[in-house]
Chains A and B, each alone.
Chain A
Amino acid sequence: MEKIPILRMGKYLLITIQVDLHDRLAHTLQEDLAEKISNTSAKGVLIDISSLELVDSYIGRTLGNIASIAQILDAYTVVVGMQPAVAITLVELGVAMNGVRTALTVDKGMEMLKALVGDD
């Protein structure tokens, strides 16, 4: 079955979505990530969506769910790299992605996660 790889780096889990995020794949990612956070006691999750050419309501909701699930499992989530056209469309669509932290780049996202986790 097609899966999105989740890389572990110390206290963090890194995900780069470089394929078409169809609904089933998005749902699988949500479940895999919950399991991985629980198994690794990860404290931070970084999701790079710079390759995504759209975020529709389903993908937006999945990202929101991931952030909520991670929070319950004691981990912070930062979504990085959203393309400007995607951000404009998402707001017009009406999906606010409340509760999802975002950063422009992977570097800035990692800084944010380290500050949240209290890692120096």
Chain B
Amino acid sequence: MGTLQTEKLMVRTTDDIVSVRHIVRKIAIDTGFNLVDQTKIITAASELARNTVIYGGGGILKIEILTNANKSGVKLIFEDEGPGIVDVELALKDGYTSGQGLGMGLGGARRLSNEFEIESKPGKGTRVAITKWK
């Protein structure tokens, strides 16, 4: 598997959430995703970007375009140096929120993706990666 291209984006304000949607949409189209898969990855990106801004205190998004022998995909990696998540299992549960949200962000982003990774250390920050294959 190879990584064709990587991009890096600041995710600090709620306006950045809109920029994330735009760039992910463009990359999803360039990668040849159909409309439903485009919508799914943009929506997952929007949820994770909001988590990065609101709970992580801002961070970065790295975008990788992946190629395999016979398929291509997009990997989105959100990293922050915020307070981290004490109980990741709990955070993934639908309806659980430590803030003002609906609590659908993390679990929803996982359902909208093909692969999902999360690493978090209290006091150190959180890294969430999702991959969507074409």
- Residues of A that sit less than 8 Å from B by CB: 20, 22-24, 53-58, 60-61, 83-86, 88-90, 92-95
Contact = CB atoms under 8 A, between A and B. Distances in A.
Contacts of A60: 102
B105 interface: yes
A102 B19 CA distance: 29
B36 A54 contact: no
B60 to A, nearest CB: 19
Contacts, number: 70
Interface in B92-114: 94, 101-102, 104-105, 107-108, 111-112
Interface stretch (B37-45, B61-69, B80-88): B37-45
Given A54-B46, A86-B39, A20 B21 contact: yes
Contacts of B50: 23, 56, 58
B18 A93 contact: no
List the 8 closest A-B pairs by CB distance, nearest first. A93-B108, A85-B39, A56-B46, A57-B104, A23-B14, A85-B36, A57-B102, A85-B35
Contact of A92 (B25, B35, B40): B40
Given A57-B104, A89-B43, A93-B108, A22 B17 contact: yes
A81 B22 CA distance: 21
Nearest to B38: A85
A54 B47 CA distance: 11
B6 to A, nearest CB: 24
Given A24-B14, A53-B42, A54-B46, A95 B104 contact: yes
A54 B43 contact: yes
Contacts of A94: 94, 104, 107-108, 111
A57 to B, nearest CB: 4
Contacts of B89: none
Contacts of B7: none
Contacts of A54: 21, 39, 42-43, 46
Given A57-B102, A95-B102, A89 B18 contact: no
Nearest to B105: A57
11 contacts: A22-B15, A24-B14, A54-B21, A54-B42, A56-B43, A57-B105, A85-B35, A92-B111, A93-B112, A94-B107, A95-B104
Of A53, A54, A60, A83, chain B has the most CB atoms within 10 Å of the CB of A54
